[in-house]
Amino acid sequence: MYANLFATAVLLGLFVLAGGGYGIFYSTAMLRSSVLLECIGYVSYAIQMLIVLGLCIASPLNLVWKVFLAASGIAYGFIPPVLWRFLETMHRSEARSMRGP
């Protein structure tokens, strides 16, 4: 029982780490226009989704937590692109307002 809980805890930590990797690699790829870093970011996200699948199948977590993890995993996929677009829009409008009429 304790081994299963320990494995779940490790997988949850890797879930967060993979999500952070996706965000960092994606944003760095957009900043530097690097296809390689963008691919590494997507690989990090794919690893994160495999971790979610493993947690949903093999962990002793309650169904509510498994659904929460699945929804979180899906949401992680949208966060970096949406935030990047928001930041670009915000900085473009700020640059326009600083130039004046």
pLDDT of residue 92: 83
**pLDDT, tens only, 60-92:** 999 999 999 999 999 999 999 999 999 989 888
How far is residue 24's CA from residue 31's CA, in Å, rounded to a whole number?
Answer: 11
Question: How crowded is residue 64: how many other Cβ atoms within 10 Å of its Cβ?
Answer: 8
Q: Tokens representing 82?
A: 């949406």
pLDDT of residue 94: 72
pLDDT of residue 5: 87
What does the domain layout of the chain look like in residue ranges? 2-99
**pLDDT, tens only, 19-65:** 999 999 999 999 999 999 999 999 999 999 999 999 999 999 999 99
Indicate whether 101 pLDDT > 90.
Answer: no
How far is residue 56's CA from residue 16's CA, in Å, rounded to a whole number?
Answer: 15
Q: Tokens representing 93?
A: 């409008």
